Amino acid sequence: MTTREAFLAKVRQAQPAARPRPEVPVFDAAGGDLRARFTAALQLMGGTCVEVAAASDVSGLIRERFGAAASIASATPEVQGTRALAADTQPASLQDIDVGVVRARFGVAETGSVWLSEREYVVNALGYIVQHLVVLLDPAQLLDGLQDVYRRDDFRDARYAALVTGPSATADIEGVLIRGAQGVRSLTVVWVAA
């Protein structure tokens, strides 16, 4: 047994017994227009919401926003990418992609967040290494608050998941807001039914 294997075996043996997760309390729903609340929360975090008539219009939206020469990796069959994306795609191969496209399973009105798991991303790096992320979201798939996320089976069953709210940003250097410092420079949520 290697040192690594011995170390991992000791860690596994020292694990506490499994216990049930605590119950998440149910708070009163804020209600109101979920789509308007989502949009306002996302805009506050630097994201943008747009609407298209159909998923087939997203390619035109991308060309309009990011230029005709933009390289695109799409994790959804609804939008054709310029670079193929599959589960065995090497994450580093996406480093020169301008636009990543993904369909979110659902959104959270309280925070303006979209929920993405390994199934939606196909390659997890898609959500972080590209310059711009375009997220398709069905308005019928909006949840009121974060408490509702924890009650969903897809949340519990995902090996990896992220609630993404706006583009990457930091303001820790001289108090200047920098977008895209550690991730995508822009996040565009496109309202389009699934």
pLDDT at residue 41, as a whole number: 96
pLDDT at site 61: 96
Q: What is the pLDDT along the chain (194 residues), one digit of tens a residue?
A: 789 999 999 999 999 888 887 887 777 778 789 999 999 999 999 999 999 999 999 999 999 999 999 999 999 999 999 998 999 999 999 999 999 999 999 999 999 999 999 999 999 999 999 999 999 999 999 999 998 998 899 888 898 899 999 888 887 777 777 776 778 999 999 999 98
Domain with residue 70: its CATH number is 3.40.50.10420
**22 located within any domain:** no
In a domain, 162, yes or no: yes
pLDDT at 1: 74
Q: Is residue 23 part of a domain?
A: no
pLDDT at 179: 75
Say if residues 190 and 61 touch (Cβ distance below 8 Å): yes
Query: Which residues on adjacent β-strands are paired with residue 133?
Result: 100, 187
Residue 62 is predicted with a pLDDT of 97
Domains: count for the chain: 1
Specify the length of the chain in residues: 194
Domain that holds residue 104: 31-191
Is 132 a domain residue?
yes
Within-domain flag for 77 = yes
Write down the residue that tokens 């991308």 correspond to: 62
Task: Identify residue 110 by its one-letter amino acid code.
Answer: E
pTM of the model: 0.85
Q: What is the predicted pLDDT for the residue at 10? A: 92
User: Which pLDDT value is given to residue 173?
Assistant: 73
Q: Considering the domain boundaries, does residue 1 fall inside one?
A: no
> 14 lies in a domain?
no
- For residue 157, being part of any structural domain is answered with yes
Q: Pairing mode, if any, of strands 186-191 and 48-51?
A: parallel
Whether 99 and 110 have beta carbons less than 8 Å apart is answered as no
Q: 134, 101 in Cβ contact below 8 A?
A: yes
For residues 189 and 175, give the distance between their C-alpha atoms in angstroms, rounded to a whole number: 27
